[in-house]
Structure 1
Amino acid sequence: MAPPSAVPFTAVVLLLVATAAASAQLRPKYYSQTCPDAERIVREVMRKAMIREPRSVASVMRFQFHDCFVNGCDGSLLLDDTPTMLGEKLALSNINSLRSFEVVDEIKDALERACPGVVSCADIVIMAARDAVALTGGPDWEVKLGRKDSLTASQEDSSNIMPSPRSNATFLINLFAKFNLSARDMVALSGSHSIGQARCFSIMFRLYNQSGTGKPDPAMDPEYRLKLDKLCPLGGDENVTGDLDATPRVFDNQYFKDLVAGRGFLNSDQTLYTMAETRDYVRAFSKDQIEFFKAFVEGMIKMGDLLSGRPGEIRKNCRVVNSWPVDILLES
């Protein structure tokens, strides 16, 4: 994973400038006239997906993070590769990690049947992320909508920007600050790991070679480390998944309680408590779930306001642009 300085400064400045201008077009109930059932349809498909596979809603929620941080919330994450473009699905932080793209496809199909050519894939990501939280016991909130879908994607930008499971709090604070998100925002948004799972691949170094010592991370609770040793043995299948907190199907503040107890699954999680810059936020959220929920919603809305200002469209299929080829569209 590239260091924070590798995030192109000019690109981030342009993103923030475009966000300031373009986010004014975003508003609640954007589809109230053109597709009044849009939000109900999204939630119903998400509900069915959760019944079919509980882990899927957590996976879909992560799409907002991986989409919005890379050139704004524009659905670029969803685009498949083309002969002229490498999509973001195989970027370093996404390959073998992001999943459940088929749920977005199902949502898009349902919306296209109800209101053809009206609801953008970028807005689907925002609605579905909110619904993933609400359906698993977390807060519900009114989302701002009205985004257009990107005409292209950038695997390189995604690889350079998205953080690694090895990241520490300082890295994350610096990264989020580039998008006008505070340390409090960052810690609250890390609470997205209240639901879902991650692969053993992401924690092998913590268990067996933290910081090149040949030893486990000393911040880990010993009993928890033994549990992870059994789940992720050295030389074992690194695609096995473990719970990100003790209540992986319920969106609550257990994630922060686990961090205080030394039971964070990912290094990028546990470091939020071991580092002084963020420890007080973790403690506060571990004691007050309402405060966590409030901060999480604020962070999600702020992240959702990130827009590139680039030309866009309403894609008929979230995996491909409506016209071909992409490079000709961008030049026109």
Structure 2
Amino acid sequence: MMDAKGKLNICNLRGPAIVFALFTLIVVFPARAEPGDFLDNISKLEINNPPASGAASGESVSSKQNNDSPDKKTPQKQDVVRKKSHQNKTESTINALRKQNAELSAAAKAAEKKRAETTRELSAQIAELKAQSEQRVRKESGETAAVSALSKKNAELAAAAEAAQKKLDETTRSLTAQIAALTAQRAQNESGQTTALDALSKKNAELAAAVEAAQKKLDETSRTLSVQIAALKTQKEQSENLQKSTINTLTGKNLELRAAAESAQKKQDETTRALSAQIAMLNKQRAEREGQQKTALDALRQKERRAGRRRRSGAEKAG
């Protein structure tokens, strides 16, 4: 996913984009999830015990037909076996989904914590740059020997910019690794899903598109910050060349650096608001998807009950 320069390649993010949706849904709002989410609702479903019911029905029919041949009892036994097999598959699917939800929630919480730490560190660095610029302006107003001090401060600014760039690259690699892990988990879980959940594919495609948009926004933000850091480095080099002339020129460059830092802070705030809006929209889509999943499972459950009643009725009529 990373090219030779260590930057994200958008074309190679189509695969992880699908799972990044699930990651985004839970990253910011894990604490807001309602107690009755999708897997909790599944765990509360009352699953009938077809083998017990089938056995009771078999005993009732057997009490009425003590003289019947073994051939008439064989379909009833096969029906009980089929019901038991279907119940086992349903319970296995529910357990797999519950385990998947727990793993995704843990991964999302870790990613959210990492994003919050990165935001705080970048904000602290920007505030420090602004404070240093203001302090230099006050000191340089009446000092003739400020050229050497400004050179040292510019070196510190360059080091801070490099540290910020390094931190951004580390965060990007961490998020990329988490997205790849979530993609692998989703691929493993999809292999064991039953046909009753096929109707959710359309919703997953919509979420994938939303995730691609969010990933594109993140890439644009990363490029913007990289450009701003490069601009700060360039301004620092220009400032070092102009230090030989006058202190007033250096003062002007420091003002430009402060303006650039304020612009970077403003850009970060705008990006945070935009991502928060996208996350809120994805959370709403997740709630709608969970409602549709519950409706599909309820319909499947009712269908199974009706089929069981029809089979029992047919068995009684045949008897």
Task: Tell me, yes or no, whether TM beats 0.5.
Answer: no
Higher Cα radius of gyration: 2
Higher helix proportion, which one?
2
**Class of the TM-score when normalised by the shorter of the 2 chains:** under 0.3
More relative contact order in 1 or in 2 (CA 8 Å, sep 6+)?
Answer: 2
Q: Report the TM-score, using the length of structure 2 for normalisation.
A: 0.23
